[in-house]
A and B are shown apart, each in its own frame.
Chain A
Amino acid sequence: VNSALPPEHPDDDLLADLAADVLPTHQARAVEAHVMACGRCAGLLTDAEQVRNLLLQDDPGPMPPDVLARIDAALRTEAATFWSPSGSLPTVARTGPSPAAAPYGTGPTGAQPYGAQPHGYGSAASQPYDVQAGAQPYDTETGARQPAGRPRTPPPPPTPTQPVRVITPFDDTTTIETYEAARRRQAARRRDESAPPAASAGAVPDRARSPRLSRPSRVPSRSRRDLRQEVLDVRAGRRGTVLAAAAGVVVLLGLGGYVVVGLIGSHQSDSASSASSSVQTLSAGSAAKAGGPPVLTTGTNYTQATLAEQARSLVQQADRGVPRSAAAVKPQAAAPEAASATADAGNLTLRDPTALNGCLSALQAGGRRPVAVDLARYEGREAAIIVLNGANGGYEVWAVARDCRPGADGTITYVTLNN
């Protein structure tokens, strides 16, 4: 048989691509014809398929204890700084900033910190918790609930007392765009199936009204307690309820009151196509002439997905000293779903250079002159976007609360951009 074949076999990669069914039809036919008649190539493909069995036999086993220990230590260290913004709050028995600090909702202060609980990456380094702890509520492999769950009672008061830092360091913007691009593709594909019917029925408040959660609260949205309950609900198998809740969930993110809108909201935000209805534009020139950094109010809705390019665009505007008009704002960057919820004018405190300096010192960037500041929105919520020159020639971009000040920087997100 072989004598009838040309002396050269198809390249191994061609054979592999044939097996993977990724060749164009005409090419696939040709290679297939060869394989049908060639014992060597057919055998190779058979063996390649059998490699899968060999690979499946390979068992690296569970994470070794020493690796577990070092990762646990690293996460603990991270948690200690993560939960303690600017290092300005005590790690034990924290007290929150005053209610006035919360632009989107205020709640009782002085809530019990979660750090008092015996597990988790608490802010107190001395906490006994670690990932190696035997009291796993779940079997990692099967997900089966084990009887000896960690104590999750008593339920903490519903309001977190401290802004949560959500730091998102990326080495380069490529990472961001690549992931976000994939995410957007997915979002587009799943948008239709992402909203359970209960979403429009406003099911959230109902599900949250379990007896244990019925204490009066001044928090207008889901509290930390609700989230914990949600986790417990999921664990207890009450998935239907939780799904209904998830559809309309509004997550209260820290005391600062930054609200992350759940499935529905984020999709609206992602796909926001309406132009800003009330873009207020402040002359950048005036502040710049005065020697302060240019503080713009472009009305832009910065989003996680587009933060990099939006920040670069902001820098260009600041460089020009001419604020971009509303019409020039790209539709997806323009004002989002709830123009009525928070006026774009909002809190403009940071236009005051003193206030801005206070905020910068809270970000541990005191003394550095921002490249640009935009009192705008982030994911649909009032936020100040602050762009600083990065250490390596790029930029640091902070999205913070508009009332960012010493002791309460209110960081929402932070990325670094390469130049």
Chain B
Amino acid sequence: VTAYPGYEAADDRTRRADEDRALMRAHVAGDQQAFAELVRRHRDRLWAVALRTLGDREEAADALQDALVSAFRSAGTYRGEAAVTTWLHRVVVNACLDRVRRRQARPTVPLGSTEPPGRWDDHSRTETRLDVQAALATLPEGQRAAIVLVDMQDMSVAEAAVVLGVAEGTVKSRCSRGRTALAQLLRAAAGDPGTYGGNHDRRPRVARAETARVDGVAGPATTGGAGQ
């Protein structure tokens, strides 16, 4: 864990969490500077969450704006049990997922555009971003949100579970399924379709990508049965 960027010593986290709580109380009590300070402290991480979850800059900005205004208003509902950053992430993630669902309700994006372009082992940061973003976009929203929080924001599984309002096991499962699907997609996009298709997976690549897009997240899948 210590190898991940963004890791902070536990003491430091505790201190910052205490500061956040004090700022929330000050905001609720009428300190007009407090919320601005909270935004300053968390804006970059929240921006990253929104951008990664939605994959679209403008939508991410819209969602983040809505979420922060909502957080500003509803700070009184924050009771201090979870860290403020957890609470803020929850508000932002919910705002983003709302948009994802609305977008799905009126699909204007042609399916083809979700195909991950280019190679995934490119070392250019921009290139990597594009690829990762495109690949993320193919994941079901639950998996995407879990991956964003745990693998990209370096959030603990426990905290991500609170943010997403699901059990920790569900977060683990979603992350792992998402990673597996990404591995398949990115590998395929790198022009190496045979690696995992092998002689055994007779589904065309599109079908496999489709599976990654529409699968559920709750229970184990039904195919396979190998070894039973």
Contact = CB atoms under 8 A, between A and B. Distances in A.
A227 B26 contact: yes
Interface in B57-95: 57, 60-61, 64-65, 68-70, 72-77, 79-82, 90, 94
Interface string A70-101: 11001100110011000000000000000000
Nearest to B49: A60
A38 to B, nearest CB: 8
Given A8-B225, A54-B120, A242 B44 contact: no
B32 A67 contact: no
Interface residues of B, number: 98
Contact of A231 (B26, B30, B129, B215): B26
Given A11-B223, A48-B180, A166-B28, A56 B40 contact: no
A126 interface: no
Interface in B194-210: 195-196, 198, 200-201, 208
A59 B180 CA distance: 21
A253 B28 contact: yes
A136 B226 contact: no
Given A136-B40, A186-B81, A234-B18, A60 B52 contact: yes
Main secondary structure of the interface of A (DSSP, over half): helix
Contacts of B156: none
A182 B162 contact: yes
Given A13-B215, A253-B28, A50 B221 contact: no
B74 A167 contact: yes
Interface stretch (A29-37, A202-210, A288-296): A29-37
B213 interface: no
B29 A252 contact: yes
Given A6-B227, A55-B132, A48 B165 contact: no
Given A12-B211, A166-B28, A47 B79 contact: no
A121 B19 contact: no
Interface in A114-137: 114-115, 117, 119-123, 129-131, 136-137
Interface in A239-259: 239, 242-243, 246, 249, 251-254
A10 interface: yes
A23 interface: yes
B68 A75 contact: yes
Interface in A353-388: none
Contacts of B125: 57, 59
B125 to A, nearest CB: 6
B40 A131 contact: yes
A144 to B, nearest CB: 10
B5 interface: yes
A16 B226 contact: no
B79 A304 contact: yes
Given A58-B128, A140-B43, A190-B81, A260 B33 contact: no
A251 B195 CA distance: 61
29 contacts: A12-B221, A13-B177, A14-B220, A17-B220, A19-B179, A21-B172, A22-B173, A31-B224, A31-B226, A52-B151, A75-B68, A75-B72, A82-B72, A82-B73, A114-B30, A114-B31, A114-B32, A115-B32, A117-B32, A121-B33, A131-B36, A140-B43, A170-B74, A179-B90, A182-B165, A246-B18, A263-B80, A266-B80, A304-B79
Given A45-B180, A169-B73, 6 more contacts: A9-B200, A20-B172, A44-B196, A54-B186, A143-B16, A253-B29
> Across chains A and B, which 6 residue pairs bring their CB atoms closest together, nearest first?
A120-B33, A166-B76, A20-B176, A10-B224, A13-B221, A63-B47
